[in-house]
Amino acid sequence: MNSRPPSKIRDAYWVHAENPNPPTDWTDRSGKWLIFTSFKKIDQYWKLIHDETIAGRLGMAAKVATSKSNELAKNPFIKVICVYTYDSSDVADVMRVRARLKEIGFEKKLSYKTDEATTSGVYAGTTEGPVSLYYE
C-alpha cells in the first residue's frame, strides 16, 4: 500500500491495489462497484478495501481517488473507491464481490458500472438514463 493515505496525496489522481493472484484474466466486459464516501472517511475505507483486495477476497483490483483536484468530481468533499471485477456479465462473481463488501461493512446500496460506460464518457448527470448496470 502506498505509505501515504489517499487524503494526503496531491500529485496523483488515484492509488491502486491489485489482487496478486487473480483467478482469471480481465475481459473487455470488466466493471466496478462504486463506493462514494466523505473525504473524512476515505483513508479508513481505503485501508479496508486495499487489504481485502491484496488478500484476494474482493475483485481483480481497486483504486481510490486522492486529494488531487479532479474535474470529473462533482463534489471535492466526496471521494470514490472503485472495486473491479473481471467481467460484468459474470453475475455470480459480481455479486460475490458485492456480498463481501457487505460483510466488511459496506451495507448501503452501491452502483456497479461497466468500464465500457466509463470509457464512453457515461457519467451520472452527463447522460440520460441509467449509468449503473447493477444497483445492490
Q: Per the confidence metrics, is the pTM higher than 0.85?
A: yes
pLDDT for 71: 76
pLDDT for 120: 78
pLDDT for 125: 64
Assigned CATH topology for domain 6-118+129-135: RNA Cap, Translation Initiation Factor Eif4e (3.30.760)
pLDDT for 117: 83
What's the CA gap between 133 and 111, in Å, rounded? 8
Q: Kindly give the confidence (pLDDT) of every residue in the chain, 136 residues in length, as a single tens digit, with 9 standing for 90 and above.
A: 557 899 999 999 999 999 999 989 999 999 999 999 999 999 999 999 999 999 999 999 999 999 998 777 778 789 999 999 999 999 999 999 999 999 999 999 999 999 888 887 767 766 666 778 889 9
Concatenated DSSP letters of 8-58:
G--S-SEEEEE-SS-SS---TT-EEEEEEEEGGGHHHHHHHHHHHHHTTSS
pLDDT for 127: 65
User: Domain map of the chain by residue range?
Assistant: 6-118+129-135
pLDDT for 85: 97
